C-alpha cells in the first residue's frame, strides 16, 4: 500500500527556494512568491510514495500523485474567465474545448500522471456532484498530465478516487509545498529531479497593483539545455551523474525535449478570455528562459484564469464586466514570463534525489554546484 500524504495548512514551503540560494530573478514577488498570492486561489495535493526495487506492474514502486488548483477556493464554484494555449500538443489537458468555446473555467485545474487523467477527471465530477458545485448538469473538468514512467509504476494505475478527493478537500491558501509532491512526485526536469513549483509577481501601483501567480508541473528538457538566470547551468555541472541522458555532449540536443510541462497562471487583473489566452502564450517565454525548445515529444500546455469579474455568467444577464486595456497589458505579460521562469527553478531547487522503479535514480539539482555556476558568471 502506498504511503499517502496530503498537503495541509501546517505544511510550510520548502526550506530552500531558488531565491534562498541567491538566484537573481527579475520582478517583484508577492508575499508568498506563490500562486496563492492571488487572493482566493487554493492548492491541494496528494502524494503517493511506496516500494523499492524491480518494477512489478500493479504493485510498484509508486512515485506519483495529484495536484489541484481552485481559482476561487473549494467553497466557491463561481466560474472564472480563462484561456488556454498548447505550445506543443504531445500531451493532454481535458475540458479545454469548453474553455475555448465558453470563455469560462468551471472546475479546479488538476494535474497528475499521464495514465491517471481519467480517474482524476471522473473523481472531480463526483466531488462536484457531492458538493453541488456543478455549473451545468454535466461537467467537463480541466485535468492535465505529464509522464512519470521513469520512476513510477505508471501502468499500475495507483491514483485512486480517494486520493483525488483528499487533494480537493485539503486545498488551502497560503504556502504551497514544492518539489516531488502531488502530481510532480515522479517527474524529471532537465535531467534533474523536477515536480511542482510556484512563484508570483506583483505589479506597481501605476501598473494596476495586480498580482500574477504561476504553478508548474515540470517534467521537460534535457541536461544541456538547462539555463538559470541566463547561466548555462546544465553544461557546467559534471555529466557523469545519473540520468544525464547524453554521453557525448550532442545526444541531448539530437534527442530533443521529450518531457512535458503544465503551467497554470492565475491573476486578479480583470481580463477577458481572449486576453487570458494571450497571457497563457507568454508562459512559453518563461519556459524558454530555462532552456526548453518544446521538442516534438513534449506536451507543453498552459491555462490562465482571472479571479476578477465575479458572477460574470450570471443569468439572465447582460452582465457588466471590467477589462484591462490592451495598452496596459504588457506588465502582466512580463509578470507571467518572470513568474514562470522562477516557478520552474523553484521546483528543481525543492526536489530531492529520488530512486524509483528498477533502481532508476534521478538526482536533485546540486545547490552548491548551481551557486558555483552562478558565481562563475557573476550572477
Q: Which residues are known to be catalytic?
A: 260, 298, 300
Residue 278 and residue 267: Cα distance in Å, rounded?
13
Q: Which residues pair with 84 in a beta bridge?
A: 303
C-alpha cell recorded at residue 370: 548551481
CB atoms within 10 A of CB 376: 11
Contacts by 310-315 with C-beta closer than 8 Å and gap 24+? 310/72, 310/78, 311/78, 312/79, 312/81, 312/104, 313/79, 313/104, 313/135
Residues ≥6 apart with Cβ < 8 Å to 31: 37
**What would the grid cell of residue 257 be?**
525535449
List CB contacts of 325: < 8 A, sequence separation 6 or more.
none
The three grid cell numbers given for residue 249, joined into one nine-digit string: 555532449
Calpha distance 367→379 (Å, rounded) = 15
Amino acid at each position: 500500500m502506498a504511503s499517502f500524504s496530503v498537503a495541509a495548512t501546517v505544511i510550510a514551503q520548502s526550506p530552500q527556494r531558488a531565491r534562498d540560494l541567491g538566484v537573481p530573478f527579475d520582478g517583484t514577488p508577492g508575499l508568498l512568491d506563490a500562486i496563492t498570492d492571488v487572493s482566493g486561489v487554493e492548492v491541494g495535493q496528494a502524494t503517493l510514495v511506496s516500494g523499492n526495487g524491480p518494477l512489478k506492474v500493479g504493485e510498484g514502486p509508486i512515485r506519483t500523485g495529484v495536484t489541484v488548483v481552485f481559482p476561487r477556493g473549494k467553497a466557491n464554484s463561481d466560474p472564472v474567465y480563462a484561456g488556454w494555449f498548447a505550445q506543443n500538443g504531445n500531451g493532454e489537458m481535458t475540458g479545454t474545448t469548453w474553455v475555448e468555446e465558453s470563455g469560462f473555467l468551471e472546475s479546479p485545474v488538476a494535474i497528475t500522471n499521464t495514465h491517471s487523467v481519467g480517474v482524476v477527471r471522473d473523481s472531480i465530477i463526483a466531488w462536484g456532484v457531492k458538493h453541488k458545485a456543478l455549473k451545468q448538469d454535466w461537467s467537463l473538468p480541466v485535468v492535465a498530465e505529464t509522464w512519470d514512467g521513469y520512476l513510477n509504476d505508471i501502468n499500475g494505475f495507483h491514483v485512486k478516487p480517494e486520493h483525488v478527493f483528499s487533494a480537493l478537500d485539503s486545498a488551502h491558501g497560503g504556502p504551497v509545498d514544492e518539489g516531488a509532491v502531488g502530481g510532480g512526485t515522479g517527474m524529471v526536469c532537465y535531467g534533474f529531479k523536477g515536480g511542482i513549483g510556484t512563484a508570483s509577481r506583483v505589479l506597481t501601483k501605476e501598473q494596476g497593483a495586480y498580482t500574477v501567480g504561476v504553478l508548474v508541473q515540470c517534467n521537460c528538457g534535457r541536461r544541456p539545455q538547462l539555463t538559470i538566470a541566463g547561466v548555462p547551468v546544465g553544461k557546467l555541472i559534471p555529466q557523469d551523474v545519473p540520468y544525464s541522458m547524453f554521453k557525448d555532449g550532442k545526444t541531448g540536443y539530437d534527442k530533443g525535449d521529450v518531457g512535458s510541462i503544465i503551467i497554470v497562471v492565475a491573476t486578479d487583473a480583470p481580463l477577458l478570455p481572449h486576453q487570458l489566452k494571450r497571457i497563457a502564450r507568454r508562459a512559453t517565454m518563461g519556459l524558454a528562459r530555462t532552456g526548453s525548445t518544446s521538442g516534438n515529444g513534449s506536451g507543453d500546455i498552459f491555462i490562465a484564469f482571472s479571479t476578477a469579474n465575479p458572477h460574470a455568467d450570471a443569468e439572465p444577464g447582460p452582465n457588466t464586466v471590467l477589462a484591462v486595456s490592451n495598452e496596459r497589458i504588457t506588465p502582466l505579460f512580463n509578470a507571467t514570463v518572470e513568474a514562470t521562469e522562477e516557478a520552474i527553478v523553484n521546483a528543481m531547487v525543492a526536489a530531492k534525489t529520488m530512486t524509483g522503479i528498477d533502481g532508476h535514480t534521478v538526482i536533485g539539482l546540486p545547490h552548491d554546484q548551481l551557486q558555483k555556476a552562478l558565481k562563475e558568471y557573476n550572477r
